């Protein structure tokens, strides 16, 4: 799906790490939420409340998922899932365009 229709978009950006990670929140008719974001090169750590499915639309990055010892490498497109209430690390190599879905369990 190349666009989301009949959605609500929060006007103000979500800004992290001095703007090196930013996103916009999209709310769907069923109340579910996604963020569309961009991460610039750098190392970051984020925590989850809900389970998150991160779809990488473009970019090169490495991800260290909770409990993992090996970094997952993504180049161009990919997806990974982060459990609820956990932390994960990102090592972003090139500007990365992502779509994050928040999944209530």
Tell me which residues touch its own copies (CB under 8 A): 1-13, 15, 18-20, 22, 24, 26-27, 36, 38, 40, 57-58, 94-95, 97, 99
Secondary structure of residue 60 in the 3-state scheme: strand
Minimal distance in Å, beta carbon 70 to its own copies?
Answer: 27
Are 61 and 80 in contact, with CB atoms under 8 Å apart?
Answer: no
d(CA 47, CA 83): 10
Specify the residue, 15 or 84, whose C-beta has the smaller distance to its own copies: 15
Minimal distance in Å, beta carbon 31 to its own copies?
Answer: 14
Specify the residue, 3 or 69, whose C-beta has the smaller distance to its own copies: 3
Minimal distance in Å, beta carbon 16 to its own copies?
Answer: 10
3-state SS, 24-54, equals: EEEECCCCCEEEEEEECCEEEEEECCCEEEE
Specify the residue, 95 or 103, whose C-beta has the smaller distance to its own copies: 95
């Amino acid at each position: 799906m190349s666009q989301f229709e009949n959605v609500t978009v929060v006007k103000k950006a979500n800004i992290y790490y001095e703007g090196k990670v930013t996103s916009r929140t999209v709310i769907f008719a069923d109340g579910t939420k996604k963020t569309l974001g961009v991460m610039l090169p750098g190392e970051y750590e984020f925590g989850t409340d809900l389970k998150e499915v991160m779809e990488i639309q473009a970019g090169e990055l490495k991800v260290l998922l909770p409990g993992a010892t090996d970094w997952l490498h993504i180049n161009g497109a990919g997806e990974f899932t982060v459990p609820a209430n956990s932390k994960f690390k990102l090592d972003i190599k090139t500007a990365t365009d992502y779509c994050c879905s928040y999944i209530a369990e």
